[in-house]
Amino acid sequence: MIWSVSWRNIWRNRTRSLVIITAIALGVFAGVYTIAFMFGWVNQRIDSVIHTEISHIQVHQSQYLETYEVHDYISDVESMQEKILKEPDVKAVSSRIIATCMITSAETGAGVQLVGIDPENEKQITNIYTKVIDGAYFEGVKSNPIVIGEKLAQKLKVKVRSKIVVTITEMDGTITGGAFRVAGIYKTANTAYDEMKAFVKADDLRNLLKIDENAGHEIAILLKDNNMEDQVLTKLKSLYPEFQILKWTEILPDMKMMTESMNFMMYIFVVIILLALGFGIVNTMLMVILERVKELGMLMAVGMNKVRVFSMIVLETVFLSITGGFLGILIALVLVALTAHTGLDLTFWAEGLNSLGFDAVIYPEIGLKDVIVVAILVVLTGIISAIYPARKAIHLNPAEALRIDM
């Protein structure tokens, strides 16, 4: 009985009810879509870090990340790769030779990190080969091919098949150089990465450095599941205690901080929206009670107890919140589904976003758990917002309320 009465009551003033439902729907829509946008934004950056820049886990000589010296290498990366690849949660493994060098063209020069890789193995770890926008991934050049970022190519003023010279320090400290020819130019969402990383074949870089055949500075590990990072990390550390083994959040701590701060900002934004909705609901329900003082007094005079009056006001508020919340969530999910395929094009801010490592096209995404949390918060906001107006209603004096001329 009380449920049907409460539902009918909210439609006694259709205009006011539709206004508050629309306000709730817009607020919930903004909250849900903002969550989806921020999740998509951060998850794209994380995906880029894992599948383009770092991988899930990296193995180095104990002091390599402090010195970046070419002589701080792992002596037998091949056998280590084979053992790590046998781990059930490991999807792929690739070793790398890394050296800081000077790279020059006919026009100018720049300091870069030269990464020697096995192109086929590296395809299993990173997606750089899919980012090539000009030329090919180590194809089309017979001797000493090099793949560089678009930003570096612009800085050096070179194009595909241009000749560039690498100046590097050998293992014994001798400064030497080698000529390479640009096979391909890649472009990622991170312009700093594009400017600082150049890729060559591992054997070519070994020849320049005069480093042992089985040596390597880095072993990159890609896992089958992101959630297995800690378990695999713990196991590898127990197997290879003499090496420094880190997951991507430890290699790039600023990414972890950014992810956590984004989540915090997202929840702050949702709380602000819910607070605004709460005040709007309180204002609306107080107006409802003021308009129905005589009616509420009559109901209490004929025997409706205070619990029923309180429940009726709360239910009216909850119905308004659920109706507006459902519409807001539905509209947000439809828009998320659409933009998840087409993406939100922020090309206007591409330069600034790329400098921070973010893509200019954002694909929003949201999980069922987050939608349920928002729905629960909307209902709770409705219930909490109804308490004060409902208390005002039950404290009305029936005799005085009946004498009020509305």
Model confidence over 29-67: pLDDT tens digits? 888 888 888 888 888 888 888 898 889 999 999 888 888
Q: Which two tokens stand for residue 178?
A: 């080698």
Query: What is the overall mean pLDDT for the chain?
Result: 84
CA 129 – CA 119 distance, rounded (Å): 9
Give 99-116 pLDDT, tens digit per residue. 999 999 988 989 899 999
Question: Looking at residue 332, what is its pLDDT?
Answer: 92
Q: Which of 132-136, 250-254, 284-288 has the lowest mean pLDDT?
A: 284-288
* pLDDT for the residue numbered 199: 95
pLDDT for the residue 130: 92
Residue 391 has pLDDT above 80, yes or no: no
319: helix, strand or coil: helix
Residue range 158-176: mean pLDDT, rounded: 88
Q: What is the pLDDT of residues 314-324, one digit of tens each?
A: 787 888 888 88
Axis crossing angle, helix 368-394 with helix 14-48, rounded to the nearest 10: 150
- The most confident of the ranges 302-316, 329-343, 365-379 is 329-343
Q: What is the DSSP string of 208-260?
A: HHT--TT-BSEEEEEES-GGGHHHHHHHHHHH-TTEEEEEHHHHSHHHHHHHH
What is the residue type of 271? Answer: V
How sure is the predictor about 1, in pLDDT bands with cuts at 50, 70 and 90? low
Q: What pLDDT, on a 0 to 100 scale, did the predictor assign at position 170?
A: 83
Would you say residue 284 has pLDDT above 90?
no
